[in-house]
Chains A and B, each alone.
Chain A
Amino acid sequence: QITLKESGPTLVKPTQTLTLTCTFSGFSLSTSGVGVGWIRQPPGKALEWLALIYWNDDKRYSPSLKSRLTITKDTSKNQVVLTMTNMDPVDTATYYCAHRGRVRFFDYWGQGTLVTVSS
């Protein structure tokens, strides 16, 4: 059974750096073809793909946010970490992590964590 869960601060101030952790079980991020991604959703708006890390440490970032994002993995801890610098109120959103496996789309998702950016 594959599960993922996001954790991190619920409130950050403008200009601060956000660090989110995705802790997963039921799969290994050292298995060929597997990836974990981050997707966000501002309140009442659509989904936006942020970043993705593969089993071989290949990393992909949203072009519009690339300068602000870093994604890393700790295979031994079954965790993926996303950092986003210089947070702004427009970054207020629910942040999801998700598993990308054999079907090469996000087939398992975490419950999401709402991050509010406000002073």
Chain B
Amino acid sequence: EIVLTQSPATLSLSPGERATLSCRASQSVSSYLAWYQQKPGQAPRLLIYDASNRATGIPARFSGSGSGTDFTLTISSLEPEDFAVYYCQQRSNWPGTFGQGTKLEIK
């Protein structure tokens, strides 16, 4: 089973700042990685799929990069609604494991 390790566990930033979240896989997942956003009491929302493709309706301030084992989610300028928990997920190998999440909180 592929293990996804997200860092940092918590990221404290202010609105307008740039956020950089990391996801590292225990073995190569090629580009088969997605990012989800989850707000309290809500289901996850797909942001990025196949490492760098924005899902439908996702603002351009969200971008993804990486391949193989190292991936990054970047939020170029934080809006108040972006403070949430972010998960990465791979679909290279079954089961499609999730990372443990990064909580993005307001500083």
| A and B physically associate | yes
Residues of A at under 8 Å CB distance from B? 46-49, 60, 62-63, 96, 98, 103-107, 109-112
Complex: A112 Cα to B39 Cα, angstroms: 13
Q: Is the interface of B mostly helix, strand, loop or mixed?
A: loop
With A46-B99, A47-B98, A63-B1 already in contact, the answer to whether A105 and B43 are too (CB < 8 A) is: no
Query: 16 interchain pairs (CB within 8 A)?
Result: A46-B87, A46-B98, A46-B100, A47-B44, A49-B89, A49-B96, A49-B98, A98-B43, A103-B49, A104-B49, A105-B49, A106-B46, A106-B89, A107-B46, A107-B56, A112-B43
Identify the closest chain B residue to A111 (Cβ).
B43
Name the distance in Å between A71's Cβ and chain B's nearest Cβ: 13
Q: Contacts of B98 on A, CB cut-off 8 Å?
A: 46-49
Complex: A111 Cα to B44 Cα, angstroms: 9
Residues of B at under 8 Å CB distance from A? 1, 32, 34, 36, 43-46, 49-50, 53, 55-56, 87, 89, 91, 94-101
Complex: A86 Cα to B56 Cα, angstroms: 39
Name the distance in Å between B103's Cβ and chain A's nearest Cβ: 11
With A48-B98, A103-B55 already in contact, the answer to whether A109 and B50 are too (CB < 8 A) is: no
Name the distance in Å between B53's Cβ and chain A's nearest Cβ: 7
With A49-B95, A49-B98 already in contact, the answer to whether A109 and B43 are too (CB < 8 A) is: yes
Name the distance in Å between A39's Cβ and chain B's nearest Cβ: 8
Complex: A98 Cα to B44 Cα, angstroms: 10
Identify the closest chain A residue to B35 (Cβ).
A105
